[in-house]
């Protein structure tokens, strides 16, 4: 296999599906013609829950005619995922049956255990226990399965045994699978999901389910936070031991948070020593962060900060602005890190946790450990608290930037435009104004108390809300309202609609000195304006911070499909972008 395939597969194995997607897509665009790489890209999309694009690429890449049974089986896997997402009823049964037939045909043709075990499981889920047991027995009889040498063969054996009602033997096979060298987070997550469905179908009680799946439980993802304090080897040793114990007991391999002196760096050092992944989110530019959150606790922390930053799996900046004396900048970065932890846990099909090194004194503002704990609680998460003991928090704070008493806050910024507007004939403009802009105005009028500011110029619209889910709802409603518009009225043969970009971040809120209306301005507003030009017509593109906030606040209503790292207009930089869709 080539390096691109190896690197993509490693990212999938670690459950880092965003990285896997980027690696595969970039390599394919650069000319890599590997069928295996295309298989991995489609698999990544399927595991991310984007069945529609996965199926489109499956057909585009010709995987349906591959000699590799695993490649061909991807369509069946996509059908299975779609079927399992349906509510109980006739439609779901028919969809499960279609997925079963797709897997069964490939198994009959190839004799490969992978489509075979999936066909067996789908037969059981569809209510055909006899057929499920027949298929499972034929798979157990395969030499590679009855004498497994790798994780997937051992997991397949366990699945087949479970289907045949041999739960104790299945548990033993799963224990063996979990001990094999190639057992990994991505594989365990996929197996856990499948076997949990079977265990519930077979009506195993909760204790038996837990015992069965314990050996292949995927690692835990955490968001971490904690107090800043001066260096003290003895105090740090006690805290570090309790942090290590938590990471071990919870099987933590992936952590998301900031990198301030004190608790943050202790957690970062612990996960690095453990061989896990450290994902750092800084609230603003690095030099300002060092001045505000590292050096106040002593110069000794600076070396440790730089070392952790170098060893981090990823480093993100919630904003690329300077620190402007706004504590909400810290709280915003914490929420972005919480959202990214939650997204990663979703891909691993696990529940994220929070670790807080905290004195349990409630916060009095938008930032700090207490505020982070309260935010996590508000989002429905569980927190483990480690008392900071006798840490010395007598920090030497630098001078704070003046804000001139300007109002700042977090908000969602929505920008739209209509491709081709500048080429419309003069006679078409009234129809555009009444038909397109009129419909959009009606949508915005439905949110009189939620849209704090709005404006238009030409074909463009700006709308600002303090609520990310409301902004998501408005964006999708704007696209929907134009779906049946007759673009022939504009002299166009066809159109795919508006381009809409949405971002969430901190900004100044004030009165527009020209119009007298409420307005927002700042670095993040400018960043939001750069999204819409790179958005395909008819789509809604959102930034990673927006996607992170949305997964915390409204994952039951919206989903954000990862598009990749996209280069913004006018040399503004390259950023991870998601496509917004309704659930």
The band of 532, judged by pLDDT with boundaries at 50, 70 and 90, is confident
Statement: residue 405 has pLDDT above 80:
no
Strand order in the sheet with 353-357: 314-317, 277-282, 252-257, 220-226, 353-357, 383-386
Read out DSSP for 553-564?
H-TTTEEEEEEE
Q: What is the pLDDT of residue 70?
A: 95
- For residue 435, the 8-state DSSP code is I
Return the structure tokens found at 69.
Answer: 């049974």
Short-list 229, 236, 343, 235, CA closest to 281 = 343
Beta-carbon-side half-sphere exposure of residue 331 (alpha carbons within 13 Å): 21
Statement: residue 467 has pLDDT above 90:
yes
Distances in whole angstroms, Cα of residue 316 to Cα of each of 98, 236, 507: 43, 27, 19
- For residue 391, the 8-state DSSP code is -
Q: Give helix 129-140 / helix 151-163 axis angle, nearest 10°.
A: 140
Q: What is the C-alpha to C-alpha distance for residues 416 and 401, in angstroms, rounded to an integer?
A: 34
Q: What is the pLDDT of residue 117?
A: 96
Q: What is the pLDDT of residue 420?
A: 79
How many angstroms from the chain centroid is the CA of residue 297? 33
Q: What is the mean pLDDT of residues 540-553?
A: 95
Q: What is the C-alpha to C-alpha distance for residues 138 and 161, in angstroms, rounded to an integer?
A: 11
Statement: residue 196 has pLDDT above 70:
yes
To the nearest whole percent, how much of the chain has pLDDT over 70? Answer: 98
Q: What is the pLDDT of residue 66?
A: 94
Q: How many CB atoms lie within 10 A of CB 425?
A: 8
User: H-helix or E-strand containing 158?
Assistant: helix 151-163
Q: What is the mean pLDDT of residues 137-142?
A: 96
Q: What is the pLDDT of residue 363?
A: 84
Statement: residue 404 has pLDDT above 70:
no
Q: What is the C-alpha to C-alpha distance for residues 74 and 273, in angstroms, rounded to an integer?
A: 37
Query: For 503-514, how does the pLDDT look when each residue is reduced to its tens digit (9 = 90+)?
Result: 999 999 888 888
Q: What is the C-alpha to C-alpha distance for residues 287 and 188, in angstroms, rounded to an integer?
A: 40
The band of 1, judged by pLDDT with boundaries at 50, 70 and 90, is low
Statement: residue 450 has pLDDT above 60:
yes
Query: For 209-240, how does the pLDDT look when each residue is reduced to its tens digit (9 = 90+)?
Result: 999 999 998 899 999 999 999 999 999 999 99
Query: For 19-41, how does the pLDDT look when each residue is reduced to its tens digit (9 = 90+)?
Result: 999 999 999 999 999 999 999 99
Q: What is the C-alpha to C-alpha distance for residues 469 and 246, in angstroms, rounded to an integer?
A: 34
Q: What is the pLDDT of residue 403?
A: 61
Question: How do strand 540-543 and strand 499-511 relate by DSSP bridges?
Answer: parallel
| Residue appearing with tokens 């209510």 | 127
- Contact predicate 407/498, CB 8 Å: no
Q: Which of 3-17, 58-72, 369-383, 558-572 has the lowest mean pLDDT?
A: 558-572
Return the structure tokens found at 124.
Answer: 């059981």
User: H-helix or E-strand containing 417?
Assistant: strand 407-417
Q: What is the pLDDT of residue 579?
A: 94
Query: For 52-90, how does the pLDDT look when each residue is reduced to its tens digit (9 = 90+)?
Result: 999 999 999 999 999 999 999 999 999 999 999 899 899
To the nearest whole percent, how much of the chain has pLDDT over 90? Answer: 75
The band of 537, judged by pLDDT with boundaries at 50, 70 and 90, is confident
Q: What is the pLDDT of residue 581?
A: 94
- Contact predicate 461/566, CB 8 Å: no
Query: For 434-444, how does the pLDDT look when each residue is reduced to its tens digit (9 = 90+)?
Result: 888 899 999 99
User: H-helix or E-strand containing 551?
Assistant: helix 544-553
Q: What is the mean pLDDT of residues 384-388?
A: 96
The band of 389, judged by pLDDT with boundaries at 50, 70 and 90, is confident
Please, what is the average pLDDT of the chain?
92
Q: What is the pLDDT of residue 495?
A: 62
Q: What is the C-alpha to C-alpha distance for residues 453 and 226, in angstroms, rounded to an integer?
A: 36
Q: What is the mean pLDDT of residues 10-20?
A: 91
Read out DSSP for 120-154?
HHHHHHTT-HHHHHHHHHHHHTSHHHHS--SHHHH
The 3-state secondary structure of 334-371, one letter per residue: HHHHHHHHHHHHHHHCCCCEEEEECCCCCCCCCCCHHH
């Amino acid at each position: 296999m080539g390096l691109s395939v190896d690197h993509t597969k490693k990212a999938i194995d670690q459950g880092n599906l965003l990285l896997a997607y980027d690696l595969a897509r970039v390599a394919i665009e650069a000319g890599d013609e590997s069928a295996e790489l295309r298989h991995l890209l489609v698999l990544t999309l399927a595991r991310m829950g984007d069945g529609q694009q996965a199926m489109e690429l499956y057909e585009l890449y010709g995987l349906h005619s591959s000699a590799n049974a695993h490649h061909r089986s991807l369509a069946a896997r996509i059908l299975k995922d779609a079927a399992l997402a349906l509510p109980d009823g006739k439609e779901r049964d028919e969809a499960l049956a279609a997925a079963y037939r797709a897997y069964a045909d490939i198994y009959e043709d190839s004799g490969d255990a992978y489509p075979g075990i999936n066909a067996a499981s789908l037969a059981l889920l569809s209510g055909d226990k006899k057929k499920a047991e027949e298929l499972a027995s034929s798979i157990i009889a395969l030499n590679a399965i009855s004498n497994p040498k790798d994780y997937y063969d051992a997991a397949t054996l366990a699945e087949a045994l479970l289907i045949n009602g041999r739960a104790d033997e299945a548990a033993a096979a799963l224990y063996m699978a979990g001990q094999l060298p190639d057992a990994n987070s991505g594989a365990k997550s996929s197996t856990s999901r499948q076997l949990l469905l079977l265990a519930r179908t077979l009506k195993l009680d909760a204790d038996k389910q837990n015992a069965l799946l314990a050996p292949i439980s995927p690692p835990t993802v955490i968001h971490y936070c904690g107090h800043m304090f001066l260096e003290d080897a003895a105090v740090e040793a006690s805290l570090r031991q309790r942090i290590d114990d938590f990471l071990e007991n919870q099987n933590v391999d992936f952590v998301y948070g900031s990198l301030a002196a004190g608790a943050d760096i202790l957690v970062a050092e612990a996960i690095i020593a453990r061989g896990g992944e450290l994902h750092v989110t800084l609230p603003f530019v690095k030099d300002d962060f060092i001045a505000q959150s590292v050096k106040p606790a002593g110069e000794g922390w600076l070396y440790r900060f730089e070392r952790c930053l170098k060893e981090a799996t990823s480093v993100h900046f919630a904003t690329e602005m300077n620190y402007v004396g706004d504590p909400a900048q810290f709280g915003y970065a914490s929420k972005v890190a919480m959202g990214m932890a939650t997204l990663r846990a979703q891909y691993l099909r696990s529940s994220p946790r929070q670790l807080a090194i905290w004195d349990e004194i409630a916060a009095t503002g938008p930032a700090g450990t207490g505020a982070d704990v309260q935010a996590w609680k508000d989002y429905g998460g569980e927190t483990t608290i480690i008392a900071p003991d006798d840490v010395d928090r007598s920090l030497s704070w630098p001078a704070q930037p003046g804000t001139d008493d300007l109002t700042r806050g977090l908000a969602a910024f929505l920008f739209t435009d209509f491709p081709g507007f500048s080429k419309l004939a003069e006679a078409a403009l009234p129809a555009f104004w009444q038909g397109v802009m009129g419909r959009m105005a009606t949508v915005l009028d439905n949110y009189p108390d939620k849209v704090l500011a709005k404006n238009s110029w030409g074909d463009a619209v700006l709308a600002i809300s303090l609520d990310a889910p409301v902004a998501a709802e408005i964006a999708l409603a704007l696209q929907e309202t134009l779906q049946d518009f007759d673009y022939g009225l504009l002299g166009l043969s066809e159109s795919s609609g508006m381009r809409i970009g949405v971002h969430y971040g901190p900004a100044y809120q004030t009165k527009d000195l020209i119009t007298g209306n409420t307005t927002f301005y700042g670095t993040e507003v400018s960043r939001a304006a750069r999204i819409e030009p790179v958005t395909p017509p008819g789509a809604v593109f959102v930034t990673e911070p927006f996607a992170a906030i949305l997964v915390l606040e409204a994952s039951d209503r919206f989903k954000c499909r990862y598009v990749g790292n996209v280069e913004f207009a006018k040399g503004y930089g390259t950023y991870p972008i998601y496509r917004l869709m309704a659930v």
